[in-house]
């Protein structure tokens, strides 16, 4: 059996949907069954477990062979995913697939606590005795959903990058498409780190996609990392999240999201990665 932890989130829901479209019936492990039904539909197979609840996880994972794990970023995410890994091992899971961060974001001494957490989980996977695969996507197009009020109400995208700075975004639906195929073929993917992105673009071009698809001008406003940090403080965001996003922006401006690698999507999924234009078309209602 295949299971997805984080199946109500961006990437996990895309992975579960892709598996269902390929004729599989994945077990979607979630903390909120009503949300899961809303996000995944009544036909989805759902089990409830908190990722911090070792006993519940172990019980839920009984009979699962291939497990996909993607959880939200938070200061405890490393420990939470190691808890999942230990429960998976105890329950007899054979293949553990994790969505991690970009290679420049993950490491034992990187600035972001989330990146250090990813590194700890990756190390634990390598030492676990389980077969494993790490997915390392580029910057998510879906991050743009956080800009929806600004796009809708002010016609603006505000980000801490120059307008022509090269960024190779990825749509989480591509990560889901790749993840589903990895889960279906452990022998081909065990022991691999798949680093992948969509095609290179920039934020001015992304804003142009919005203008064309929404039929009204959307302008791009590039700000400094310091200005973005001050704006997040004004909005009252938690300190750890501001620190994480500042670290990501600094790494991004040093090129962490600028290396295009579309090969894994082309070779494993068998099509070109989705474009920013396709992203805007698919999510048009959220920005209108």
Binding residues for ligand NAP, rule: CB under 6 A, are 6, 8-12, 31-32, 35, 50-52, 70-73, 99, 101-102, 114, 137, 139-140, 143, 172
C-alpha of 38 from chain center: 20
Instruction: Specify the residue, 72 or 92, whose C-beta has the smaller distance to ligand NAP.
Output: 72
C-alpha of 187 from chain center: 24
Q: How far apart are CA 251 and CA 138, in angstroms?
A: 12
**Is residue 121 within 8 Å of residue 78, measured between CB atoms?**
yes
Instruction: Give ∠ CA 4-145-24 in degrees, rounded to 5.
Output: 25
Q: How far apart are CA 54 and CA 72, in angstroms?
A: 18
Q: Give the shortest CB-195-to-ligand NAP separation in angstroms.
A: 11
Residue 214: which of 226, 222, 206 has the closest Cα?
206
Instruction: Specify the residue, 12 or 186, whose C-beta has the smaller distance to ligand NAP.
Output: 12
Instruction: Specify the residue, 34 or 212, whose C-beta has the smaller distance to ligand NAP.
Output: 34
Q: Give the shortest CB-86-to-ligand NAP separation in angstroms.
A: 15
Q: Give the shortest CB-217-to-ligand NAP separation in angstroms.
A: 26
Q: Give the shortest CB-68-to-ligand NAP separation in angstroms.
A: 11
Q: Give the shortest CB-216-to-ligand NAP separation in angstroms.
A: 26
Instruction: Specify the residue, 51 or 213, whose C-beta has the smaller distance to ligand NAP.
Output: 51
Instruction: Specify the residue, 215 or 235, whose C-beta has the smaller distance to ligand NAP.
Output: 235
Q: Give the shortest CB-6-to-ligand NAP separation in angstroms.
A: 3
Instruction: Specify the residue, 173 or 181, whose C-beta has the smaller distance to ligand NAP.
Output: 173
Q: Give the shortest CB-215-to-ligand NAP separation in angstroms.
A: 27
Instruction: Specify the residue, 137 or 186, whose C-beta has the smaller distance to ligand NAP.
Output: 137
- Closest CB to ligand NAP: residue number: 9
Instruction: Specify the residue, 109 or 129, whose C-beta has the smaller distance to ligand NAP.
Output: 109
Q: Give the shortest CB-29-to-ligand NAP separation in angstroms.
A: 7
């Amino acid at each position: 059996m295949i299971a997805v932890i984080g199946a109500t989130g961006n990437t996990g829901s895309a992975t579960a949907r892709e598996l269902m479209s390929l004729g599989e019936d994945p077990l979607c492990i979630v903390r909120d069954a009503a949300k899961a039904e809303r996000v995944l539909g009544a036909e989805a197979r759902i089990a409830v477990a908190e990722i911090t609840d070792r006993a519940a996880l172990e019980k839920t994972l009984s009979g699962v062979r291939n497990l996909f794990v993607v959880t939200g970023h938070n200061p405890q995410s490393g420990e939470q995913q190691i808890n999942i890994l230990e429960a998976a091992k105890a329950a007899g899971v054979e293949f553990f697939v994790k969505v991690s961060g970009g290679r420049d974001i993950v490491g034992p001494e990187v600035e972001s606590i989330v990146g250090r957490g990813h590194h700890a989980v990756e190390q634990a996977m390598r030492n676990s005795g389980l077969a494993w695969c790490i997915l390392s996507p580029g910057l998510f197009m879906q991050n743009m959903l956080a800009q929806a009020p600004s796009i809708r109400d002010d016609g603006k995208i505000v980000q801490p990058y120059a307008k022509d700075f090269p960024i190779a975004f990825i749509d989480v639906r591509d990560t889901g498409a790749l993840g589903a195929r990895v889960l279906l073929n452990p022998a081909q993917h065990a022991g691999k780190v798949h680093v992948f992105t969509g095609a290179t673009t920039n934020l001015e071009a992304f804003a142009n996609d919005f203008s064309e698809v929404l039929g009204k001008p959307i302008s791009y406003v590039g700000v400094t990392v310091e200005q973005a940090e001050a704006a997040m403080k004004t909005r009252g965001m938690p300190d750890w999240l501001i620190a994480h996003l500042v670290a990501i922006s600094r790494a991004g401006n040093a090129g962490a999201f600028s290396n295009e690698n579309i090969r894994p999507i082309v070779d494993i999924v068998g099509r070109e990665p989705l474009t920013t234009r396709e992203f805007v078309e698919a999510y048009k209602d959220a920005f209108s």
